[in-house]
Structure 1
């Protein structure tokens, strides 16, 4: 295919959703010329399967993008959560009151995705190309140097120093590049629906998350008075849903302790869900390419880390590669730095998330910290910060925290568990 000068970029990004738009904006602001490709042709296209909860760990990225103010403007909820456990409710805001602890946002993807895409399209240096489907990676001596694919008008080819896969858990870029991957089974399935007019306790637009041993649920208030209610269930319960998905879903929601009164609300969507959502961890870089968002790490939706890690991984990549793309720094070294940052920030968290997705009883550490958080305001706040991915596993289980939990609970962790904590959490090899 003949090439023209406008087919050459510093960065080509496949996927114009949360990760891709964030990366495009940040790369362009750092001086790179960016082609942002999206296979769907509509500006308002959006992802359907999502928890709609952006963790507080991504707030600095949202602030840098100017997105936080815009989310406030569209009525997105500054999020927090209470957690039901068999030891009682964990209420992180019990001591501080609402709006004091770090927050992210709860917002539907039909609002978030178009908003981000328009922000990316308006950023100088970004060429948004809708209706562009990538089906080939261009290479030179084993190095990725661009992409090729199709549009409604024919084929295209774009070359770049860096190709970024921001194209989700079934990433085309990752597949074509042969990116090494580890897959972990998710032994839960999920269904959710949108409701309008759900009454919230004390009038607080606060999420509620339920840890019901094998089963889980969440109730997430979003913008425009809409609430997302999800049932996240052990696959041993699949037969309950085979004949009557809507009836089984609504029966489960009604059974939740202190649960939402859906009979006083209006369901405004069908019941949406997935039966199989494996966890996928890929090596997030290779010669001439990088992976961000779900393309790099698809974690369990129950943990609600997808949107936050999409934004954060885009930021880590832009920070690591800016000098290489616009100056003289070596790109492969920069990509290696990005991969190390990605592993440092996500691997230990993902390991714990993947282990819980096996649907097993709470281990000793989980029981210890959940019980303490249900009984003590300081531990509840600590629990919130960890769940928001604002601290490491080591910080979550620091000696002073373990000692405080011991006083609260009146019982101690076993010597074997304490030795394993001292050795540090097991992380994934990335």
Structure 2
């Protein structure tokens, strides 16, 4: 593999070096190279078919425009990715979003296993002019000059190597080596739940829809994926961890069997190990500094119960390309563009993360959540409204807007009035 040589006129080996050839890193490499940047895409693993195993395997609808720009939609459809319509169980019944009569269909993206998605997008990145994929390259340190990041040092199959670039991008996950070495602030929130998941074949779901169970405080979800495989995950309160650890398989299956309208797990074929994590804190980091940007889980690690990580990985890569691409092409200052990216990242995701961190304390619904979820189980317009929020197409302020809260209040008042009238009718009879 040819290594570009720096020149006196061009002291950088590349315009951009990206650590991590997963979903976020590959998307950023493609989008930045299309904008004229020379990109080194570093991946610590050497296997081209490597993929992330601990994942919801779901791309929320906010990611669809990025998938479309990347040109991946036809390939995902051909690979059997499942459009991710969903419904949610609550103590007030099922919330089932449906398109409005005569209106457009509900927005969607896809459920697709990372064993399919990751090699697909990595091969697209490697074939993009301007991108050089460097497998077996693990970042060990940042190169710092004059108060800014100027490159990386990496362990490679040929030994240690220094790679200089105008921009270093950390796309190396929640345990990001780039973020750990970067001069950026961060926060961590404890997660009061642990999680385990497994893949099953032959697990029918009503209407073929994904399902999420809000059991307050326990959680679970079942997402249909490509090739007839369903991802089934349980996220109990950490108080249940000792019993789960004592008999993981038995506890996992017992938890699923006890779900309301439980999927028939005993008649399905489990085609993977039961895997998971007992400690998955929510982390937020400032997404940029001079010469450096963080995307995907390196910038923000959300709660896996919401299934938003893949969507945010693609969105953050897209935001970075939009902000930094022109500067890398010589139009504007790079560090100013990175500051804009950091502000955009915070503005778009901080509210979502705050709500997720609060709910991760493994608590029951608060009064406002009870209002919105109960009304959404009774009103189709509010069910669609919740679908937009769950898909991260609207933010918390719009989800909890005065108009939405007022409608939810009216729905519940009408429900209570009808219930009282029904009881009165039965008493008279």
Aligned mates of 1:261, 1:228 — CA distance in 2? 13
- Whole-angstrom distance in 2 between the partners of 1:99 and 1:302: 28
User: In the alignment, is residue 373 of structure 1 matched against residue 376 of structure 2?
Assistant: yes
Partner of 1:272: 275
CA contact (8 A) 1:53 1:304 kept: yes
Identify if the C-alpha distance between structure 1 residues 114 and 73 changes in structure 2 by more than 3 Å, giving closer, same or farther.
same
Cα drift, residue 411 of structure 1? 8.2
Do residues 238 (structure 1) and 241 (structure 2) align?
A: yes
Asked if 1:192 corresponds to 2:197, the answer is yes
Q: Secondary structure at the match of 1:156?
A: strand
Q: Distance in 2 between matches of 1:337 and 1:34?
A: 21
Counterpart-to-counterpart distance in 2, 1:51 and 1:261: 20
Determine the C-alpha separation between the residues in 1 that align with 2:369 and 2:136.
46
2:251 maps to 1:248 = yes
What is the Cα deviation at residue 287 of structure 1? Answer: 1.5
More displaced stretch, 85-94 vs 286-295: 85-94
CA distance in 2, matches of 1:46, 1:276: 21
Pick which of 394-403 and 19-28 moved more.
394-403
Q: Distance in 2 between matches of 1:96 and 1:81?
A: 18
Note if 1:326 corresponds to 2:329. yes
- Mark the CA change 1:251 to 1:96 in structure 2 (over 3 Å): closer, same or farther: farther
User: How much does 1:179 deviate?
Assistant: 2.1
Structure 2 partner of 1:416: none
Would the alpha carbon gap of residues 314 and 97 (structure 1) be closer, same or farther in structure 2, given more than 3 Å must change?
Answer: same
Contact 2:138 2:154 survives alignment (8 Å): yes
Contact 2:99 2:105 in 1 (8 A): no
SS in 1 for 2:164: strand
CA apart distance, 1:360:
1.2
Work out which of the residue numbers 67, 76, 82 in structure 2 matches 1:77. Answer: 82
Contact 1:77 1:205 in 2 (8 A): no
1:362 to 361, 365, 375: 365
Cα distance in 2 between the residues matched to 1:211 and 1:148: 45
Indicate conservation of the 8 Å contact 1:3/1:157, yes or no.
no
* RMSD, aligned α-carbons: 1.8
Deviation at 1:95? Answer: 5.2
Alpha-carbon separation, structure 2, partners of 1:212 and 1:98: 32
Range with bigger deviation, 326-335 or 223-232: 326-335
- Deviation string, structure 1 residues 39-79 (Cα, Å, up to 9, x no partner): 00010000111001110001100000011111111000010
SS at match of 2:194: strand
**2:349 equivalent in structure 1:** 346
**Cα distance in structure 2, aligned partners of 1:70 and 1:275:** 35
1:138 Cα shift? 1.0
Moved more, 239-248 or 213-222: 239-248
How far apart are residue 97 of structure 1 and its match?
11
Structure 1 stretches of 4+ with a deviation exceeding 3 A read 94-99
TM-score of the two chains, using structure 1 as the length reference = 0.92
Corresponding residue number in structure 2 for 1:4 = 5
Q: Which has the larger radius of gyration?
A: 2
Give the Cα–Cα distance (whole angstroms) in 1 for the partners of residues 392 and 218 of structure 2: 22
Tell which deviates more after alignment, 187-196 or 396-405: 396-405
Partner of 2:31: 26
Q: Which runs of 5+ in 2 are unaligned?
A: 416-429
Deviation, 1:3, is 8.5
Q: 1:295 to 1:3 in 2, by over 3 A?
A: same
Report SS of the residue matched to 2:236. Answer: strand
387-396 vs 306-315, greater mean Cα deviation: 387-396
Change (3 A) 1:148 1:176: same
For each residue in 1:123-156, what CA deviation from the matched residue of structure 2 results, as whole angstroms up to 9, or x when unmatched? 0000000000110111112211011111122122
Q: Is the contact made by 2:183 and 2:289 (CA closer than 8 Å) also made in structure 1?
A: no
- Per the alignment, do residues 223 and 372 of structure 1 end up closer, same or farther by CA in structure 2, a change over 3 Å counting? same
Query: Does residue 176 in structure 1 map to residue 143 in structure 2?
Result: no
The 8 Å contact of residues 154 and 163 in structure 2, kept in 1 or not, is answered as no
